[in-house]
Every structure is written in C-alpha cells, then in structure tokens.
Chains A and B, each alone.
Chain A
Amino acid sequence: MSKSFGGVPVLEDVDFSVSRNQVIGMVGENGAGKTTLFNIISGIVPADAGTMELRGGPFSPASYGEASALGVSRVFQEQALIPNIKVYENLLLSHEAAYARWGQLIDKTGMIATAQRVMDEAGLDIDVRLPTASYSFSKRQLIEIARACLIPTEVLGLHHPVVLLDEPTSALEKSDEEVFRRLINRLRDHSSIVLVSHRLTEVLELSDVIYVLKDGRLVATLDPDEADERILHGLMVGRAREADFYHESEQRAPDEAPFAFQVTGLSRSGQYQDMSLEVAAGEVVGFGGLLNSGKSEFGKGAAGIVPPDSGTVSLSGAAPERPVIRHLTPLGLGYVPAERLHEGLISGFSAAWNLSLAGGADTFATSMGLWQTQKEVKVTQEYIAALSIKARGPHDVCATLSGGNQQKVVLARWLCRDPRVLILDNPTRGVDAGAKEEIYKLIRGLSSKGVGILLITDDLLELIGLSNRIMVMQNGRITRVVEAPAHAKPSERELIEYMLSQAPPPMNAGVHHDMAAAS
C-alpha cells in the first residue's frame, strides 16, 4: 500500500496482515505513517496504490461509515463519545434502528440490556444508564475501546471485527492502565486489534506481533518475546544522516553572552510548565518530543501567539511588558507555524500579499498608515530571486505554489524584517527534499549572520543535524538537554530513548480532562 501527499510519500509499499484474535503492535516515531495507514484502512483517505482484503474478500471502503459497517472500526486519539448523553446511547449510537419497535419508538430497555451486557463482558464497572460525562476521561476511553471491539458483533452480528487503536493509553490514568491491559486481553477473544502506541512496554506486553514503521516503510516484524525496548528504538530510527545535507560543517559555536533570546519560567496550564532557557546569537536550539510533549505549544507561547499564563520572554535583553507577538515582532522575533495552510499563509492571496503580511513590524506601511504597494512588490521580487522561489512573479497566487515554495514565502515574510530570533515549528513539513535542503541552507545562513533559532521539529534527523543543543520535552517539561556540536552529534536512537523514557507524571491531569469534556 502506498500514499503520498503533495508529492511527498508518507507510505511506501506497506504490506501486512492481521489474523483472527490477534493483537498487532504498530510502532514508529512521529510522522512514520501510522496515522495515514489507519486512515486508509478505515476508509478516511484512499490509498494511491495497493489493495486490502477482509475475511478473504476485497476491501476498499469509500468512507469510515462503510468501513465500520463491514466491521473495521477505530478509536481515535480524540474521543468520539458525546459527553452529554447516556452511556448506552453512546454505545449504540447509529444502531438505534435495530431497536425500533412499532415504527418509530425505540426499545430503550433492550438497548440498556445490550449495552450493560457489553460492559460486563468487557469487565468494566460501568452503569450504562448514567450520563457519559459522569465518567472520567480515562474511563470513557475504556468505554470507547470496548464499544469498538464488541458492538459490531453484538448488534451487526459481525464476528471478529478489526479494531484500530490509535494511542489509546496516552490519556489513561495510572489506575486505569491495568484495567486497559485486562480489557485488551479479554477483547482479543472477540476481535482483532491493531495497537499504535508510544508506550513500548505496553506494546511488548500485549501484542502477538510487532510491526515497526519508519518513514512510511515497514522495516521489521518482530516477535515480542524476542524483542525489547532497545531493539525497538534502534529499528524505529537508525537512518544514515548525511552531514552535508544539514550543512553541519557550517555549524558554528554560538556567541558568548549576551543572549539573543531568553525565556524565564514560561508556563501555560495543561500545556507546558516552567520553561526557562537561553538562545545565543547564531545558535540553533532544537526541541524534540512526542506529539503531546508540549513543544509546539511552547513555541506558540514563546512567540506570544497564545500568551503564556506566566513567565517572561526577552530579546537581546529587552522584554515587553506582556509577551504577545505584536510586541515581540518589533524587537526582532519571527514565527513560522507548523500548520502552513491554516496559520502560515492565505493561499488565495498573492506571494506579495503574504510576504508583507505581519503586524507589529509593519515594514510596508508608512507612519501615516499608507500601504506601500510598490515596495511590497519590489521586496517580493528580491526574495523570489534570493530564495529561488518558483513563482512567475510577486502576483502569483500562493495556492498555485508547491509546499516548499509556500514555506519560503512564509520565511521571507520574516527575513525581510531582519529578524534576530526565529521560532520555526516543523519548517520542512510537507516539503520535498530539494526545498528541504534549501531551507536548511537558509537556516545555516541565518545562524551565521547571528540570528538565534528555535527549531521545533518532529523530524529527528533535522533536529540532530541542525541543532547546537537539543531540548527533549516530555509532558510539557524539558527532561533532558543534549549537546549536539558538529563533531559529536547524538544518535537518533539516543534521542528517541529520551523521548520515550519514563516520563514525569502528566501535569494538571484534571484540567486536561475538563477541557476534553468541554470540547
């Protein structure tokens, strides 16, 4: 099976099978293609090439609804239970027709009986007549897993449904982890389960077979009895890093004090806690961590886009009263978001309009508030040439540009404002290899000009190759600082171990649950 987005392959020739009553473990670092694989299996996106079979017959669902009707269901990372209705209503959601009596009336008693039987069978102590919101986030996660595994058999009479579990335990409370293990062991008698998880101990314990995905390829099939965490770590990463690609020879030792950028005690409830660090002029500080590590949220906080609850941000010693972006940009800060099409640029606008688009440091408006259209066009032309942006001209609409060229426009937005510090969140996501290298070269060039760079990325090689220092984040805190000088780069394996190692307890667990319930 293969899939690519915008010319960038995310899955290549993936090939695997799930037997009845089998639990498959699926591991891989961020961006390895696990979610895309699940999206294809559950009919959310079509595969570019390849076929699937279910119970011996061809299987090519056009939608999630079709996949689940055939007995392939999925528990998403975000919860799909509706909090303000009863548990049994959630369990049998969209199956009400099976309980219709005398036309439109619904046999509530029958529904409750079925739902309760399912919960008992799963070994969960749940009263299905209570509102769903009366159970904790963690318990609701268990309810959802049981629903996916048991309801298709119970209601549709489909035996051995296939259930895809995407990080089911990341939100579980400690006390429920044991319940989860028992639940999976019970459910394996009824269904086939594919389990994606960053908790390798759990995968090792529960799975019958473990598949390792790396860069969209299936690189290993393991027997859990013969594997351990170290072996998995090595398989998940272990790519050759070409120092040239990252221009490592150009990496320079950062300037001594004063610091270009400094954050002190930056915290935001439920996202990151007590972040303090300094970035020297010309230094590239990398931030690595799992998806829920809080690194992107920290980036938004440090840039003042989602202002932190407490803490200060200063550039070259100057700290605005409140760290909000429009007070930080005049001091020389620039921010490139990860979600390029949502937050980075307006694809219906021209390159020139997107390049000039920034508040705070309004280089294209006079003090009277007049817009300098000619300057805007001229500067855009200069950057199209300087960054070799493949556009016909400044008036070319960004929707027609490739991901890499769009990203260069977003970068040019800050470059033309002479930044001192740039915060880059996954600057090469969805960008082809050629543009990737150009962006790396650009980052090196900026750093040699003394720009301090905070590089937040899920790409381990990029993190290692570009950074002077690497901050490993787990649950909203920096749990390790790894030095990465040009002559002694850490290995991917070392970093992934730090990222996956026993994390400190999740912060503000209660807040997180409330937010989830409210959303």
Chain B
Amino acid sequence: MTRERFTSTGIGKLLTDGMALPILVVLALVVFFSFASDAFLTLRNLTGISGQASTLLLACLGATSVILMGSIDLSVGAMVLFVGAVTVKAINAFDLGIGALFVGLFTGTALGFGNGLIFAYGRIPSFVVTLGTLSVFTGAAWEILQGRALRYDSLIFEEMAIGQLIPRFPNIALIAILAWGLMVFLGFATRFGRYMYIIGGGEAVATTAGIPVRRYKIYAFMLSGMMAGLAGALAVARLGTAGPTLGQDLLLNTLAAIVVGGTSLSGGVGGVHRTLIGVLIIALLDNGLNLMGVNQYTQMMVKGGVVIGAVLVGQDRSKSTVMK
C-alpha cells in the first residue's frame, strides 16, 4: 500500500503486498453474510454476484489507470449509459449480433478520447472535465432513449453475457476476468503501465525526463472510455434492455471499489490488480445487504462509510511505514 513497498520486488510481491487487509475484508464479509442469510452461500446467488460484479469490474479497469495517473474519471457511469443506449439502437437498426460489442468498444473509446483531449489540451482539472461530460453523456443518452427503457431482440448478443461457457459462471464474468488479467499485464509489463505510475508519482519528473505526458494522459482516458464501453455493451447484453437508470450506481461504486482496493487518489500508488478486491468488497456488500433485507437508503449509508473507512485505514498504514 505504501510507496516504499509497492516497488520493492517483482510482480509476485506486488500482487500480495499490502493486499492482506482488503482480502481479509472479503473473507470476513463472506463469513458474515453466510451466517446472516441462508440464501447467500448458494450457487445460484454466487452466480448472481459474479454477474453483478462483472459490470462494475469492467467499468473500473480503465478508470483505475486514470486514478493511478493522479487524475479522476467521474464520467464512467455516464459512458456506460450512453454506450448502452447506442448499442441497443445499433442492434435494432442493423441486426449486428456480436458485432454490437465493437460498436460499444468504439463508442466508449471515442467518449474517453473526448475527455482526454479536453483534459490534456484545455488544461482543465479532470474532475471538472469529467463532471461536465458526466452530465453531457447522461443527457445525450436520455435523449436517445427518450426517457424510456429500450429493448432489443438478439439472442446471440444476450448469450455473450448470460451464457455459461463454464457452468455456473456467466460469460460476462469470464470476459471481465480475462480483461482484468490483460489490464494487470498492461500495468506491470508495458511502457503504458509504467508511465501511468510515473505520471501519478511525479508529473514534473516525467516532463523533465522527456516522457510525453500529455499523450499518455489521453491514452489513459481512452482506456477508461473503452472499458466503460465494454461494460456498457455487456451490461445491456446481460439485462436485455437499456434503461435510463443504467450505470447510475457506477459513479460511486467505481470510485469506491478502486479506493477500497488500495489505489491512492493522489496517484502513483496502487494498481488494477487491487481493484478486483475492491470490486468484490462492494459487490458482496450490495448483494449481502440486499439478502438481509436492509433497505436501499441504509445500504447507501453503509457503502459511503466503508469508502471513508477504507481511506482512513489506508492512510494509517502508510503513515506507520513512513514513521519506521
């Protein structure tokens, strides 16, 4: 979790270092909810959780790079909604089948490119840029949907998300895990990944050493858009519809999962490998509290508390290392 430790040795250490606490939290939640609700530890429910968590994980994958780089992308949920709406429109108009997935990927990348361009060339804080585009994308999506839920009819597209190549494990979860693996590789083993850490760790150093900071900032936002696009298309495939509330909970949930996982909002510390744990924590909380019959409002309060608590605990840990 601390700067001192995350670079200390190879990838093996990186994967485990500082992740003990978040993993313990996951285990504790599993134990707690399995006692609290009989329905929790059933195959049916676990399949359900993996489906729900997948959209969140996909949406977080690119956004983690943005946060690692020291910026923030608030428009992830809005991009999921917009891409979802566009994908349904495209399927209905052209009968694209699986090809609709590429419509989603492309649309998302284009939205992220827009975010990145405004951020890097307009020199506007990413918080402001993506808060603005959050509203723009949401409005545009509602315009497309005309405020209603749009249905489509393409079994093969639905199958991509809810089919089970591996029994009891929906395809969307398989895709999300594969995409996660790819992103972990991107983070650890490529120039792109290294530059994300460097820009987040010290942008002035990156500039002085001749790293094309602006270009990589745009790449990061494009990646965030692309993964939001994938999440949007697959969410639509899973739900069979694109409604006005699609992606609504992702604004809080993506940031919560990334931060709870242990990527620092100040940049340079963390990584997408941790985000998986954060996603599990958020998804388990959502599911478990639902099964226990806790109402929506209380759930929101609990989740907010968990996010703040995670940062508090995280800070504490890094402080203690600095002191020693």
In chain A between 348 and 366, which residues have their CB closer than 8 angstroms to a CB of chain B? 348-350, 352-353, 356-362, 365
Tell me which residues across on chain B come within 8 A of A370, comparing CB atoms.
189-191
Closest to A330 in B: B210
Q: Is B23 an interface residue (CB 8 A)?
A: no
A304 to B208, CA, bound (A): 9
Q: Are B191 and A369 in contact (CB under 8 A)?
A: yes
Q: Is B211 an interface residue (CB 8 A)?
A: yes
Q: Is B168 an interface residue (CB 8 A)?
A: no
Q: Is A101 an interface residue (CB 8 A)?
A: no
Q: Are B3 and A326 in contact (CB under 8 A)?
A: no
Instruction: Return B262 CB to nearest CB of chain A, in Å.
Output: 15
Q: What sequence of 0s and 1s flags, for each residue 334-352 of chain A, a beta carbon within 8 Å of any chain B beta carbon?
A: 0101010011111011101
Contacts known (A370-B190, A371-B189); A343 close to B208, Cβ less than 8 A: yes
Tell me which residues across on chain A come within 8 A of B209, comparing CB atoms.
325, 357-359, 413
Q: Are A343 and B205 in contact (CB under 8 A)?
A: yes
Tell me which residues across on chain A come within 8 A of B191, comparing CB atoms.
362, 365, 369-371
A350 to B206, CA, bound (A): 15
Instruction: Return B81 CB to nearest CB of chain A, in Å.
Output: 32
In the complex, identify which listed stretch (B193-201, B252-260, B284-292) lies at the interface while the others stay far away: B193-201
Contacts known (A342-B204, A357-B205, A373-B10); A349 close to B189, Cβ less than 8 A: no
Tell me which residues across on chain A come within 8 A of B316, comparing CB atoms.
none
Tell me which residues across on chain A come within 8 A of B207, comparing CB atoms.
305, 343
Chain B at the A interface: SS class: helix
Q: Is B320 an interface residue (CB 8 A)?
A: no
In chain A between 389 and 421, which residues have their CB closer than 8 angstroms to a CB of chain B? 395, 397, 399-400, 413
Q: Is B202 an interface residue (CB 8 A)?
A: yes
Q: Is A329 an interface residue (CB 8 A)?
A: yes
Q: What sequence of 0s and 1s flags, for each residue 278-289 of chain A, a beta carbon within 8 Å of any chain B beta carbon?
A: 000000000000
Q: Are A359 and B210 in contact (CB under 8 A)?
A: yes
Q: Are B3 and A337 in contact (CB under 8 A)?
A: no
Q: Is B38 an interface residue (CB 8 A)?
A: no
Q: Are A395 and B189 in contact (CB under 8 A)?
A: no
In chain B between 137 and 196, which residues have their CB closer than 8 angstroms to a CB of chain A? 188-194
Q: Is B9 an interface residue (CB 8 A)?
A: yes
In chain A between 372 and 394, which residues have their CB closer than 8 angstroms to a CB of chain B? 373
A399 to B3, CA, bound (A): 10
Q: Is B42 an interface residue (CB 8 A)?
A: no
Contacts known (A371-B190, A395-B7); A348 close to B268, Cβ less than 8 A: yes
Q: Of the candidates A335, A337, A353, A358, which one forms a contact with B211 in the assembled complex, judged by CB atoms under 8 Å apart?
A: A358
Tell me which residues across on chain B come within 8 A of A349, comparing CB atoms.
3, 7, 197-198, 201
A304 to B211, CA, bound (A): 12
Closest to B187 in A: A371
Q: What sequence of 0s and 1s flags, for each residue 264-277 of chain B, a beta carbon within 8 Å of any chain A beta carbon?
A: 00001100000000
Interface-centre pick from A335, A359, A360, A399 (highest chain B CB count, 10 A)? A359
Tell me which residues across on chain A come within 8 A of B192, comparing CB atoms.
369
A360 to B189, CA, bound (A): 18
Tell me which residues across on chain A come within 8 A of B3, comparing CB atoms.
348-349, 397, 399
In chain A between 299 and 313, which residues have their CB closer than 8 angstroms to a CB of chain B? 304-305
Tell me which residues across on chain B come within 8 A of A344, comparing CB atoms.
205, 208
Tell me which residues across on chain B come within 8 A of A345, comparing CB atoms.
202, 205
Q: Are A346 and B210 in contact (CB under 8 A)?
A: no
Q: Is B295 an interface residue (CB 8 A)?
A: no
Tell me which residues across on chain B come within 8 A of A373, comparing CB atoms.
10-11, 188-189
Q: Is B298 an interface residue (CB 8 A)?
A: no
Closest to B200 in A: A346
A395 to B205, CA, bound (A): 19
Tell me which residues across on chain A come within 8 A of B268, comparing CB atoms.
346, 348
Q: Of the candidates A326, A348, A365, which one forms a contact with B210 in the assembled complex, judged by CB atoms under 8 Å apart?
A: A326
Tell me which residues across on chain A come within 8 A of B211, comparing CB atoms.
326, 357-359
Q: Of the candidates B8, B188, B201, which one forms a contact with A346 in the assembled complex, judged by CB atoms under 8 Å apart?
A: B201
- Interface residues in chain B, defined as those with a beta carbon under 8 Å from any beta carbon in chain A: 3-4, 7-11, 188-194, 197-198, 201-202, 204-212, 268-269
Known: A371-B190, A399-B4. 16 other contacts (CB 8 A): A305-B207, A326-B210, A326-B211, A326-B212, A342-B202, A342-B204, A342-B205, A343-B205, A343-B208, A348-B269, A353-B197, A365-B191, A373-B10, A373-B188, A373-B189, A395-B8
* Sample of 19 A–B contacts (CB below 8 Å): A326-B210, A335-B208, A339-B204, A343-B208, A344-B205, A346-B198, A346-B201, A348-B3, A348-B201, A353-B194, A353-B197, A358-B209, A359-B209, A371-B189, A371-B191, A371-B193, A395-B8, A397-B7, A413-B209
6 smallest beta-carbon distances between A and B, as pairs: A348-B3, A359-B211, A325-B210, A346-B202, A359-B210, A365-B191
